[in-house]
Amino acid sequence: MIRNPILPGFNPDPCICRKEDDYYLAVSSFEWFPGIPVYHSKDLKNWELHTHVLTDDNEVDLKKLPSAKGIWAPSLTYSAEEDLFYVVFGVMNSMNARYFDVDNFLITAKDIKGPWSEPVYLHSAGFDASILHDSDGRKWIVSLDWETREGYEKPGAICLVEYSPEKKEVVGYPKRIWTGGTDRGCIEAPHLTKRGDYYYLMCAEGGTGYGHSVTMGRAGNVWGPYEKDPMNPIVTSIPGEFYERHDPDHLKPKYFNPDSVLQKSGHGSYVETQLGEVYLVHLCARPFVPELRCTLGRETAIQKMMWTADGWLRMEDGTNLAKEFVPESKLPEHPVNEIPAFDDFDAGELGIQYYAPRIMPESFADVKSRPGYVRIRGQESRTSLNKASILARKLTSIYATVTTKMEFRPEVPQHSAGLILYYDNMNYINLRKYYSETLGQSALSIIHLENGEKAELVDTRTPVNDVPVYLRLNISGRKSWFEWSADGKVYERIGQEFDTTKFSDEYSKYGEFTGSFVGLTCADRVKHQHYADFDFFEYVTNPAGSGETTSYGVPYK
């Protein structure tokens, strides 16, 4: 069996495609670089992080964008006729006054690892844009046409426009073609496919929260009219129909289903295997209960599907409730390499698992200057929306131990470096070494930022010498805390326990849609030159959670 989620941690809005016997799955990256992670599998069970589509932080500039803006819902497709991969992605620039100012682009590549073409601007008519390569050679772009006018149903309707590869532009203006297959409201995430005589329009409805779902409509003409699947929604965490067209709020916690392991199931994309099987990937979440806070963010799950005799897509078991365990494909099992728990930085280049907010990690993290170490050059504060030096990896379990060995000699109070649990620039905890003028020497202490309110926990101030120091972050369910050691053997606890649940979409007032990260960080708020050297980064998870479970009895993966 396949156990969901297949991609734990911050991996939302999945889009899947196949080239021969290779499967590729792209997810959203929001303000994080490198952008648009792509995972690879040959059996739909074992997945590995394969590449990233966006690696130029000047070509796609995310600096100064608030949390949860940036790269939304990439569409990854493969055109066999052209032997060409396509990625359509949106850059969400602003959500002020609920206008949702987005720019949608298209890029192509012969190889999934690139190089990718220069971005072609498509339009700004809403988000979640995706492309259909029609059987007659024409290409179509669908997206959510975001509604801002008073008296109109919000958030809007799905729109369609033709794309001309020759002119590298859309033809005319997008036109609205569908308002959804249920009354759950908040339609988004359109994917247009063609099978036989029908065009199929798969969407998400109910908001990307607890009422989320995957729905389907079909038509004999690409412009419609589209008829809705009589079983809609076809995948969800909360079966049944409800009327929410009047409420544009996406979260809807009242639809939490205590009988489902996977919550928020929706935003789907399907693929047919070379054996004729059908699988659908979708986002999901696993909240702390009763807080209903998803520290790991929105994750990616997979369901086995089938086509009915009358041409509708269904879950293979005949229900529409997203399942934790799913039958495997008949494809030969193909194990993949896992990201190592221990990174000694000996490889000569940064591992593929590292990210940074808004800028490429290589712009401040160097593994060549001192072989066997990563040297992180300090820049602005961790609250910055511009250039913060945070080398992080996604938190994939709420039971984890993160350890590093750091060499750092702060010279002024504006120098600091250490270990961080980071949701966004307004929510983090940071065990850092810094220069204390009060003590007249280097010291350790903790900075806690909670929804923009900064607390420097001066009672944690601990004098230390300018020699290597070991730092550790322990995450155990709802509780997280720091430790430090002079020798890497005996660790001493420092500071209080923190509430892990608060590092979540639901608790954050300034960001949403992403997930928590753990990582290494350095700041030099004077000259942006001072650096810290880290000997290793160890990220160890306990899948069983030391026997602990969620409030409804399900062990966290």
**pLDDT tens digits, residue range 104-118?**
999 999 999 999 999
**Helix boundaries (H) for 405-473:** none
**What is the CA angle 480-483-489, rounded to 5?**
135
- Mean pLDDT, to the nearest integer, of 391-413? 98
Share of the chain above pLDDT 70, in %: 97
Compute the Cα dihedral for 174, 311, 188, 18 and give only its sign: negative
What residue spans in the chain does CATH classification 2.60.120.200 cover?
342-547
**What is the CA angle 260-315-80, rounded to 5?**
125
**pLDDT tens digits, residue range 500-549?**
999 999 999 988 899 999 999 999 999 999 999 999 999 999 865 544 44
Residue 221 reports pLDDT greater than 70:
yes
Q: Rounded to an integer, what distance in angstroms lies between the CA atom of residue 345 and that of residue 125?
A: 44
Q: Rounded to an integer, what distance in angstroms lies between the CA atom of residue 27 and that of residue 16?
A: 9
List all residues 6 or more positions away from 471 whose beta carbon is below 8 Å from its beta carbon.
403, 404, 405, 406, 418, 419, 431, 482, 483, 484
Biggest CA pair distance of the chain: 78
59, 63, 64, 67: CA torsion to nearest 10: 110
Residue 552 reports pLDDT greater than 90:
no
CA–CA distance from 198 to each of 314, 316, 401 (Å)?
16, 21, 51
**pLDDT tens digits, residue range 421-470?**
999 999 999 999 999 999 999 999 999 999 999 999 999 999 999 999 99
- Mean pLDDT, to the nearest integer, of 398-421? 98
What is the set of active-site residues?
13, 188
Share of the chain above pLDDT 90, in %: 95
**pLDDT tens digits, residue range 435-448?**
999 999 999 999 99
Q: Rounded to an integer, what distance in angstroms lies between the CA atom of residue 248 and that of residue 98?
A: 10
Q: Report the residue count for the chain.
A: 557
- Mean pLDDT, to the nearest integer, of 155-163? 97
The pTM (predicted TM-score) of the whole model is: 0.96
Residue 168 reports pLDDT greater than 80:
yes
Mean pLDDT score of the chain = 96
Cα–Cα nearest to 87, from 58, 110, 56, 62:
110
Residue 551 reports pLDDT greater than 70:
no
Look at the domain 342-547 and name its fold.
Jelly Rolls (2.60.120)
- CATH architecture entry for 2-326: 5 Propeller (2.115)
- Mean pLDDT, to the nearest integer, of 477-483? 98
What residue spans in the chain does CATH classification 2.115.10.20 cover?
2-326
pLDDT attached to residue 543: 64
Residue 554 reports pLDDT greater than 50:
no
